[in-house]
Structure 1
Amino acid sequence: MNETAVQPATQAIVIDEVFPHDAATTWRALTTGDLIARWLMPAEGFEAVVGNRFTYKTTPAGAWDGTIRCEILEVVPNERLAYSWKGGDDANVGYGSKLDTVVAWTLSPVAGGTRVRVIHSGFVLPRNETAYRNMSDGWKKVTRRLDATAAELGPSGKPH
């Protein structure tokens, strides 16, 4: 039997958008705690420093308390941010199933703004099918809210 046959299938959510803001403004919206709460959800203890651990809190389900545990894996200011995204419980099926994934944001300058690419990878199917489906739509909405939050900051990176 080859390795591929014993590896569970994994899926990634990929969102690729161009924002009409510079990378520094988008980065500020992406990495500032009170701003993150506006486009995603409150991040307890967030700091864009490799090794920093922080949490998000969402709706609990079954044996899962709703806490998403994250750790900053990579920081390249104005270019790349990656963090682990872990939650759920082995006892849950569907919403709240065990999740061990990575969220990676990449910012690249383009004419008229910044290409923003988010890849949320590591969804194990079929176990994480519900999370994958829900978050596929969710990340599209989150990315639009990130764009709106950056727009409110303006080119100086400060609120209008």
Structure 2
Amino acid sequence: MAPIRLSADYPYPVESVWEALTDPVALREWFTDNDFKPIEGHEFTLRMPPRPGFDGVVNCRVLRVDPPRLLSYSWTGGWLKQPTTVTWTLTATPGGTHLELEHDGLEQGVLGRLLKVMLRGGWGGMLRKALPRTVARRRGQKDA
């Protein structure tokens, strides 16, 4: 199945967006509870509210860290029977940062298509609202 691919442009420096993706406190603000560390090989857990068929736990392992340009980790849990891969790519632009998200490795078939729709919607909302709101707030705190 083709991966989920989403992108967004933010009026913030790449370092500020990188911090929101890699600092566990910032990650908790825009995404979910976690024990993330931006260290290759680090195994971490994302904890979300449980839903029918999903206990709320996503098990991950950091695959690649190239600050402040690339972060990749495995993602498995719930209905996912095999690990998938989430990759964030950041590019500095004259106006701030271009962010690309790719979530690859979803299963084929009806379940895979359903998960793709659900994950695309969740990721899209976070990229449009929660992530930039967190970056803006954290930048405001540092500037104060």
Same fold (TM over 0.5): yes
> Which residue is equivalent to 2:46?
56
* Structure with more of its chain in helix, by fraction: 2
Question: Which residues of 2 match residues 121-132 of structure 1 at below 5 A?
Answer: 121-126=104-109, 127-132=111-116
Q: Compute the RMSD of aligned alpha carbons.
A: 1.9
Q: Go from structure 1 to structure 2 and tell me whether the alpha carbon gap of 1:119 and 1:135 turns closer, same or farther (over 3 Å shift).
A: same
> Which residue is equivalent to 1:107?
90
For structure 1, list consecutive stretches of 5 or more residues without a partner in the other structure. Answer: 1-9, 89-95
> Which residue is equivalent to 2:73?
83
Q: 2:120 aligns with which of 124, 136, 145?
A: 136
| Counterparts of 1:23 and 1:114, CA distance in 2 | 5
Question: Which residues of 2 match residues 37-48 of structure 1 at below 5 A?
Answer: 37-43=28-34, 45-48=35-38
> Which residue is equivalent to 2:132?
147
Q: Secondary structure of the equivalent of 1:78?
A: coil
Residues paired across the two proteins, number: 141
Q: Which has the larger radius of gyration?
A: 1
* Aligned residues of 1:11 and 1:125 also touching (Cα < 8 A): no
- The CA deviation at 1:142 is 1.1
How high is the sequence identity, in percent, across the aligned residues? 30
| Counterparts of 1:100 and 1:15, CA distance in 2 | 20
| Counterparts of 2:8 and 2:124, CA distance in 1 | 10
What TM-score do you get using the length of structure 1 for normalisation? 0.80
Q: Secondary structure of the equivalent of 2:3?
A: strand
| Counterparts of 2:71 and 2:31, CA distance in 1 | 15
- The CA deviation at 1:131 is 1.4
